[in-house]
Amino acid sequence: MDKHNIFRWSHVRLNLPGRKGYIPHLPWVSKVRDGDGRLACDLVCYVDDLRSSGNSWSKARSASRAIGSKLNWLGIQEATRKRRDPCQDPGPWAWSLVVIDPGKSVMLSVTHERWIKTKEIIGWIQEEINTSDTIEFKTLERHQGFLIYMSCTYNVLTPYLKGIHLTLDSWRPWQKDDGWKMTMSKIQAALAEKGSEDQELLRSGGKPPERVKWVPRLKDDIRASSMFTDTKEPPNRVVRPNKSATVVYSFGDASGSGFGSSFKIGEEIRYLNGQWNEDHGSKSSNYRELANLVYSLEIA
């Protein structure tokens, strides 16, 4: 609360999706100064890298100076020459690039070099799938770590990493053909059928082979990831949009054979209905309900 403290703040503002008055281009949780209502200066740490922030160029610079002074007072070297002047395009940090579109949106991206490497990794996995029913374990394991970091920026990749995870574990005992581990009850039943109670058979230790069998879903996961990365430059993922809209799911239902939905946009009512094809009709009810909503939103 000290007015001479560059990091002073009076209250925490919650700007959460779903709340009345939600503003999408503002942070969900922020410390706000009393009087002018502007964001307070702040400090964020990632391992040994510190980033200060402020609501203006001068305030951000003052925050950096205050941090540097405190570090030196504590006996921790903080060289002024290593500081960077306040800016809205500070370069990559924790794998992501922050992209500011003045007056519009805050977005995340990655460097061109990392985007190219991501495409090369996906291409390598695709080539391995096309040429053999096994894949090199150590190389896939290294690529897995890189793609996990990429999914921090592009979270759309997250569900498509499961095929890699299952493939890396496919060599372990008691794994089914789809890569998932058998339930304990099925394992116990299999041991009983063999007439064995040896608990050593339940363990999954040991070293993996040089090449492991890739699981069936890896093929679809890589195909989806390849479609997402099919651009020359890394896309920008919007994290704080400047525009927002409220979507109301007015009516919708899906059965084993058909589907239907309706929306009211302004004074206009839009509707969609039809029959599932053979592929969709054989899916689960959860899948059909979600597909009905997605297709309705895309058309509306």
Average pLDDT, the chain: 86
Does residue 155 share a domain with residue 260?
no
Whether pLDDT at 39 is above 70: yes
> Is residue 187 situated within a structural domain?
no
With bands split at pLDDT 50, 70 and 90, how would you rate the model's confidence at 249? low
Name the percent of the chain in helix, strand, coil, to the closest 5: 40, 20, 40
Structural domains in the chain (count): 3
pLDDT at 195: 64
Residues 219 and 121 in one domain: yes
Domain coverage including residue 293: 251-299
pLDDT number for residue 32: 93
Whether residue 176 is contained in a domain is answered as no
Q: How much is the pLDDT for 156?
A: 92
- 54 and 125 within one domain: no
The reported pLDDT for the residue numbered 111 is 92
Domain-embedded: residue 178: no
24 domain-assigned: yes
Helices 216-228 and 112-131 sit at what angle, rounded to 10 degrees? 150
In a domain, 94, yes or no: no
The reply to whether 56 and 140 lie within a common domain is no
pTM: 0.72
Residue 106 lies in a domain: no
Q: What would the mean pLDDT of 52-74 be, rounded to a whole number?
A: 91
Confidence band of 75 (pLDDT split at 50, 70, 90): very high
Per-residue pLDDT at 276 exceeds 70: yes
Residues 255 and 220 in one domain: no
Residue 244 reports pLDDT greater than 80: no
Contact predicate 55/38, CB 8 Å: yes
In 3D space, the residue among 53, 32, 41 whose CA is nearest the CA of residue 5 turns out to be 41
Tell me the per-residue pLDDT of 253-264, one tens digit each, with 9 for 90 and over: 888 888 988 877
Q: Is 125 in the same domain as 218? A: yes
pLDDT exceeds 90 at position 231: yes
The single-letter code of the amino acid at 105 is: S
Q: Give the model's pLDDT for residue 189.
A: 77
Q: Do residue 233 and residue 265 come from a single domain?
A: no
| pLDDT tens profile 162-205 | 999 999 999 888 888 888 888 888 777 777 776 655 555 555 56
259 and 284 together in one domain: yes
Question: Are 287 and 258 in a shared domain?
Answer: yes
Which of 87, 103, 133 corresponds to the end of one domain?
A: 87
Mark whether 50 and 71 lie in a shared domain.
yes
Could you give the percent of the chain with pLDDT greater than 90? 44
The pLDDT value recorded for residue 222 is 96
Whole-angstrom CA distances from 196 to 48, 122, 186, 190, 200 are 53, 42, 14, 9, 10
- Contact status, residue 135 vs residue 212, Cβ threshold 8 Å: yes
Distance between CA atoms of 86 and 51, rounded to whole angstroms? 10
77 and 21, same structural domain? Answer: yes
Residues 142 and 226 in one domain: yes
Q: Is the pLDDT of residue 30 over 90?
A: yes
Q: Which residues does 162 contact at the CB level (< 8 Å), separation at least 6? A: 217, 221
Asked if residue 272 has pLDDT above 80, the reply is yes
Weakest mean pLDDT among 159-163, 204-208, 223-227? 204-208
Model pLDDT, residue 116? 96
pLDDT category, 141, cuts 50, 70, 90?
very high
Among the three residues 87, 121, 148, which one is the final residue of a domain in this structure? 87
Cα–Cα dist 135/137, whole Å: 6
